[in-house]
Copies of this chain bind each other. A is one copy, B any other.
Amino acid sequence: MTGIEKFQKERAELAELMTEKADMSMKRFLNLDSKVYEDGAIPAKQKEMLGLVASLVLRCDDCINYHLVQCHKARVTEAEIVEAMDIGLVVGGSITIPHIRRALKSWGELEEGK
């Protein structure tokens, strides 16, 4: 199993646990968290890239991996991923580099797994 596949499996298990334990407020948040990435004035593909860069500057590997998977499904190209990461890197600084390294590995696995 690749790293990104392992991430997806573990995420699915823990997401199920969260849904089970969640009260109404938590459920509403989770719904809203899906809602804001849907097609609208901004197309879904671009929204995933917004989510990716936000996750990168806040340095959350799980969130980065999630949005990489979504970007991959939305047919974002590697050149677009790298340019989005450039912005995250310049805005967020060298502290984002370890996350970019791991993200590029995940991206490679997604591309190979096509």
Contact = CB atoms under 8 A, between A and B. Distances in A.
Given A26-B89, A47-B83, A93-B93, 10 more contacts: A18-B97, A25-B36, A25-B86, A26-B82, A28-B35, A29-B94, A40-B83, A50-B87, A62-B98, A89-B93
A80 B32 contact: no
Contacts of A63: 91, 94-95, 97-98
Interface residues of A, number: 63
Interface string A20-33: 01110110111011
Contacts of A94: 29, 33, 63, 90-91, 93
B51 A49 contact: no
Nearest to A40: B83
A110 interface: no
Contact of A17 (B18, B23, B90, B108): B108
9 contacts: A23-B86, A26-B86, A32-B90, A40-B83, A41-B79, A54-B91, A54-B92, A91-B93, A92-B93
Interface of A: 11, 14-15, 17-18, 21-23, 25-26, 28-30, 32-33, 35-37, 40-42, 46-47, 49-51, 53-60, 62-63, 77-80, 82-98, 100-102, 104-105, 108
